[in-house]
Structure 1
């Protein structure tokens, strides 16, 4: 073992100059060669530091500090203002690969702009880098999983194709100079439960592994050419996946030809020791992981590789191989590039630019799914007076979802409807919380200052409220995301204080819970203090110790009460919300009064990132740790819908959620239903355009909406029997691929290139699609394959899709080219092949049995084994 006994001591600037000159002289060398030469100059301890996500600077080699952790799930995340697109599940509902590529391009462009602002060759801290840990392409096998919102749904083919195009957008079209590096995750077989995820062991059959859980990752690597892959927390058949060489080396690198680097999920290596009990210490867990092919540790467990080398658990050559892959990636990204690098000209003017804002609106529009429209209730007629109700009508968190950037000018549904229909045609009542026991932002109707809705906000550029406020304004509600931004334009410091004053207006007597929610930065030493005063008495005083601060008050009447909220931003916390839980009867009375003045009711119901998400601290009926125990609409919202329907006025239900919700009552009683997901910064404008008929909805469900939790297999089981549209034999509430339009499409003339196909040859399938309605619109043409001979094959499998636009009364021929993989199936041993037999293809606007379409049958003769 060789180490540098006396490292060369150079001034950081001079070292950087020498390194840059050396890199320039070797600019024609392959990144791997340059990386290997650089690694050879490092001491062992320096090498170990570079294998951890927070890689430190090595000044004498001109290497700046670089944190590999950056996020870009649906916008450049956790690093200030960015374009915030619909959550990933909403993007999937567009069924539009070109849209996903444009979104990926925007994400990496904004990441590159911020990287450039920090400067090439300079330190880049967490979330400032170009190695983006997205997309999440785990299969959304069970709607109870709280993180399913981050995925592209339940189908392997749809997920894979959307991932391929998102990755291409992230990385660009020059593999030698990627705009950023995409990291599909979590490899592999990872989709909850959140509780116990750090030590969960998945027992899955070879068939289900190859048929369901691997295909999207294969596509991401072989077609998308992802530069990185993240391995998951869980074990597979007793071995943590980050230590499985058969997955990370044999399958990923040898069989699929992966050339990039593998990073662990955060603290997954440490989990092997603490929760999987895979090895007795981190030295051995780290050695097993890097030997298997995990190059980079998100965490600090790899610090024990120094001991692992000394004890002979791993050889230095394996460490060098991983480092070479990592530094080759940094060379390709141009971390030490000069002004001539292809992306050097991307500036901060591209962050949330006008073009990106238009794309966010387009994405929100394309994601909306029309589920029901009885009696042509939608679009709403001009001049309609609308009662807007529901817990999701006016909240920021249900726009941004999780893993998000900070939206500069988000538009809630209430704001969007006021803008589109006129504020004088909109009345609003919140009506209910998302779920019993879960506080929600106090609505504008319960806050007043100087005769206007909301509170007076005084913004100080200091933390002791001294002097004259830099900014004074009226805030309709206190529901703010200020992650890595300041609400005071032009402020020279990110430390500030805000004092809100005014009146709190309880809608009626009863027991109230007032709450302050501060989005805490999870690895900070200190947090932002807050204080809430009601009638000049302190009811919540917190110096930064708790995320959820609550006070319980009994109110005997509905008179106004003075309110003051002091918030001091002295650390890195990310925003503040003033919330409540109000008496149910008082809120329903307010709803009933509001509806009396309306011609129609639009109810914004569903879930929120407060109840579904990653490892949340929540245990209320129906929810557990970020997952759900019941997929039904929470009872408080069901009561709200029943109260609205009792008015006899048209009821439009807008579901905002990150997953499927059993909307049985709404399906039976509401006049119209749309699914809007968590729609991003332009979500309110998009919903308003759809309700007004300015846009014809064409989204399709990327997941099955089941009728009941009882329809689901045990949550902890990863067996696919009874799961997703491919293996579920019951009757869904709404099927995968389902979605309506304001127009009508007809299918004719199905055509096959042959009715007798030799295994190994491609098959061309086509049909004529006609918009025979009176409105222009998009149609999502879906192609399904059914094996008529093999009882073990999926009931049906999506093998192609295209989103097409058709002017009213026009038609076009849509063609699909199916290759061997699309025509193949997987046997019990997990082997994929094209098999002889009788097959049917179906082309329509959804699945067979649930949409209008056409079908043709054909035979395959012979067989063809396919690589893994």
Structure 2
């Protein structure tokens, strides 16, 4: 967890009047990232907040990540043999021949995968199997209903009252279908889904519902915990995605998607304090959000217990101490042209502009003072170790961790980096205490690219030893190497 901004709204009190919103607030799959395992249970941020407060905190999704697709599930209106849900029948062959091997009733949307050697149902093969899902849909209001289906490259056929809406004409590693039909209140519609596993990891998800306008009214809550950002389904290797800002798994912009940005502005106009939790696997440009949100927490893709971790940070059970391992640029304009292969302007080492959040940046619920620092010598021979001592004080009222960072810059290294991280230590300090932090800088720490030899080497010259809590606002000590 990396706390990027806090104007004092955090940590929240247990009894604070809050509402949880955002497309990532109740999304467990987002938290897994890519190349993931499949946990038996994932604590979402919504669950984490409800658990830590002991209250049924209200929740509104508010918007999607990028495009308006407010799908409201009506799976609860499906029944089979007079009982809620779909009846699922399985065969251990791909043609649904002979005796079935398992029957189950599904009362929640279908979400099956053999990833992690998990069978669709007890007694069903991991491969070479098929299934039939049947139920009757009886809507409570007339309108246009949407069925969402996602499968592997195997067989699939979806029909309503005998009319086929999806068939097996399209093959691929992953296939996602959205089909609609009109339904009248009180009438019954027979749904049948046939499935046969393909030659990859078996995958099947199915739901039925309606596309509706989002509710964005935060009501009487004083604070909105908005959990947004992007998702592994948008950024990843060869993703079948083509929406504004994302194409084929690549990001065409680092800006927060406009749909979320506009909703945050709307919440600010409602007079709400906004705690923004950003989930992403890479940097997101958050300049407008930095100006309107009261706090920003970078939660990345936090894994199966991520909701617990976020809640413990937001409510002060844990004092955050994460530091950014990448630069958070202010906006797209700070990125060099994609076809420019020079290092100029890239990463904290070559960037001369001021980013939104620097490499190594991260806040705490306490403050740290770098009271003094000294080297064991002002000059040394190339190849010598140099010892650095820093006196660090926790000047706040809470115990906490500081990540002490040491950078080195060589004066006159034209074309070289403006600074390079060469050492760091995570230090735990009780409130009001001080500690001397010792570093031994070996010759490797002073290596730069030597034009004469064409290799990295320690060369004579004047150096700056830079130290502090991030890659910006650093203090310095001079050193001469002979």
TM-score (norm 2): 0.85
Structure 2 partner of 1:857: 478
SS in 2 for 1:856: strand
SS in 2 for 1:768: strand
- The 8 Å contact of residues 447 and 504 in structure 1, kept in 2 or not, is answered as no
Aligned partner of 2:223 among 591, 600, 614: 600
Structure 1 partner of 2:263: 640
Map 1:546-585; keep pairs closer than 5 Å: 546=172, 547-551=174-178, 553=180, 566=193, 568=195, 570-571=197-198, 572-578=200-206
- The 8 Å contact of residues 461 and 480 in structure 2, kept in 1 or not, is answered as yes
Q: 1 CA distance for matches of 2:292 and 2:428?
A: 32
Q: 2 CA distance for matches of 1:557 and 1:775?
A: 61
Q: Which runs of 5+ in 2 are unaligned?
A: none
Structure 2 partner of 1:628: 251
Q: 2 CA distance for matches of 1:492 and 1:403?
A: 25
- Once the 2 structures are TM-superposed, how far is the Cα of residue 568 of structure 1 from its aligned partner? 3.4
SS in 2 for 1:821: helix
- Once the 2 structures are TM-superposed, how far is the Cα of residue 745 of structure 1 from its aligned partner? 1.4
- The 8 Å contact of residues 222 and 273 in structure 2, kept in 1 or not, is answered as yes
Structure 2 partner of 1:396: 28
Greater mean deviation of Cα atoms: 548-557 or 381-390 = 548-557
SS in 2 for 1:448: helix
Structure 1 partner of 2:171: 545
SS in 2 for 1:529: strand
- Once the 2 structures are TM-superposed, how far is the Cα of residue 557 of structure 1 from its aligned partner? 11
| Structure 1 residues 684-718: Cα deviation after superposition (integer angstroms, max 9, x where no partner) | 22112212222111111111111221211121333
- The 8 Å contact of residues 396 and 479 in structure 1, kept in 2 or not, is answered as no
Structure 2 partner of 1:142: none
Aligned partner of 2:456 among 814, 817, 832: 832
Structure 2 partner of 1:591: 216
- Once the 2 structures are TM-superposed, how far is the Cα of residue 633 of structure 1 from its aligned partner? 0.9
**2:55 equivalent to 1:428:** no
| Structure 1 residues 795-833: Cα deviation after superposition (integer angstroms, max 9, x where no partner) | 111001112222222232222211111111113474112
Q: 2 CA distance for matches of 1:705 and 1:834?
A: 31
- The 8 Å contact of residues 776 and 806 in structure 1, kept in 2 or not, is answered as yes
Map 1:242-281; keep pairs closer than 5 Å: none
| Structure 1 residues 353-407: Cα deviation after superposition (integer angstroms, max 9, x where no partner) | xxxxxxxxxxxxxxx1111111x21222112343222222222331122112222
Q: 1 CA distance for matches of 2:277 and 2:186?
A: 33
- The 8 Å contact of residues 78 and 86 in structure 2, kept in 1 or not, is answered as no
Aligned partner of 1:517 among 127, 142, 150: 150
Aligned partner of 2:5 among 372, 386, 410: 372
SS in 1 for 2:374: strand
- Considering only aligned residues, what root-mean-square deviation do their CA atoms show, in Å? 3.6
SS in 2 for 1:748: strand
Map 1:163-312; keep pairs closer than 5 Å: none
SS in 2 for 1:436: coil
SS in 2 for 1:687: helix
Map 1:16-165; keep pairs closer than 5 Å: none
SS in 1 for 2:232: coil
Judged with a 3 Å threshold, the aligned counterparts in structure 2 of structure 1 residues 656 and 505 are, in CA distance, closer, same or farther, namely farther
- The 8 Å contact of residues 471 and 488 in structure 1, kept in 2 or not, is answered as no
SS in 1 for 2:446: coil
Q: 2 CA distance for matches of 1:507 and 1:599?
A: 34
| Alignment: residue pair count | 469
Between Structure 1 and Structure 2, which shows a larger proportion of strand residues?
2
- The 8 Å contact of residues 655 and 675 in structure 1, kept in 2 or not, is answered as yes
SS in 1 for 2:466: strand
Structure 2 partner of 1:794: 417
| Structure 1 residues 642-683: Cα deviation after superposition (integer angstroms, max 9, x where no partner) | 222222122111111111111122111011111111111221
Judged with a 3 Å threshold, the aligned counterparts in structure 2 of structure 1 residues 685 and 568 are, in CA distance, closer, same or farther, namely farther
Between Structure 1 and Structure 2, which shows a larger proportion of helix residues?
1
Aligned partner of 2:362 among 739, 757, 776: 739
Q: 2 CA distance for matches of 1:681 and 1:599?
A: 29
Q: 2 CA distance for matches of 1:389 and 1:558?
A: 31
Structure 2 partner of 1:806: 429
Judged with a 3 Å threshold, the aligned counterparts in structure 2 of structure 1 residues 493 and 655 are, in CA distance, closer, same or farther, namely same
Greater mean deviation of Cα atoms: 462-471 or 745-754 = 462-471
Greater mean deviation of Cα atoms: 669-678 or 788-797 = 788-797
**2:80 equivalent to 1:448:** no
Q: 1 CA distance for matches of 2:184 and 2:449?
A: 67
Q: 1 CA distance for matches of 2:133 and 2:361?
A: 48
**2:272 equivalent to 1:649:** yes
Structure 1 partner of 2:91: 462
Higher relative contact order (CA closer than 8 Å, sequence separation 6+): 2
Map 1:678-757; keep pairs closer than 5 Å: 678-757=301-380
Q: 1 CA distance for matches of 2:106 and 2:181?
A: 30
| Structure 1 residues 116-174: Cα deviation after superposition (integer angstroms, max 9, x where no partner) | xxxxxxxxxxxxxxxxxxxxxxxxxxxxxxxxxxxxxxxxxxxxxxxxxxxxxxxxxxx
Judged with a 3 Å threshold, the aligned counterparts in structure 2 of structure 1 residues 538 and 798 are, in CA distance, closer, same or farther, namely same
- Once the 2 structures are TM-superposed, how far is the Cα of residue 613 of structure 1 from its aligned partner? 1.2
- Once the 2 structures are TM-superposed, how far is the Cα of residue 763 of structure 1 from its aligned partner? 1.1
Q: 2 CA distance for matches of 1:560 and 1:810?
A: 72
Q: 2 CA distance for matches of 1:507 and 1:796?
A: 64
- The 8 Å contact of residues 72 and 210 in structure 2, kept in 1 or not, is answered as no
Judged with a 3 Å threshold, the aligned counterparts in structure 2 of structure 1 residues 826 and 559 are, in CA distance, closer, same or farther, namely farther
SS in 2 for 1:760: coil
Q: 2 CA distance for matches of 1:507 and 1:724?
A: 54
Q: 1 CA distance for matches of 2:333 and 2:265?
A: 23
Q: 2 CA distance for matches of 1:822 and 1:530?
A: 62
Judged with a 3 Å threshold, the aligned counterparts in structure 2 of structure 1 residues 409 and 561 are, in CA distance, closer, same or farther, namely farther
SS in 1 for 2:356: coil
- The 8 Å contact of residues 87 and 104 in structure 2, kept in 1 or not, is answered as yes
Judged with a 3 Å threshold, the aligned counterparts in structure 2 of structure 1 residues 696 and 566 are, in CA distance, closer, same or farther, namely farther
SS in 1 for 2:313: helix
Aligned partner of 1:762 among 376, 380, 385: 385
| Structure 1 residues 39-97: Cα deviation after superposition (integer angstroms, max 9, x where no partner) | xxxxxxxxxxxxxxxxxxxxxxxxxxxxxxxxxxxxxxxxxxxxxxxxxxxxxxxxxxx
- Once the 2 structures are TM-superposed, how far is the Cα of residue 488 of structure 1 from its aligned partner? 5.6
SS in 2 for 1:432: coil
SS in 1 for 2:91: coil
Q: 2 CA distance for matches of 1:507 and 1:846?
A: 57
SS in 2 for 1:716: coil
Q: 2 CA distance for matches of 1:404 and 1:542?
A: 29
Judged with a 3 Å threshold, the aligned counterparts in structure 2 of structure 1 residues 570 and 722 are, in CA distance, closer, same or farther, namely same
Q: 1 CA distance for matches of 2:58 and 2:318?
A: 23
- The 8 Å contact of residues 400 and 678 in structure 1, kept in 2 or not, is answered as yes
- Once the 2 structures are TM-superposed, how far is the Cα of residue 425 of structure 1 from its aligned partner? 2.9
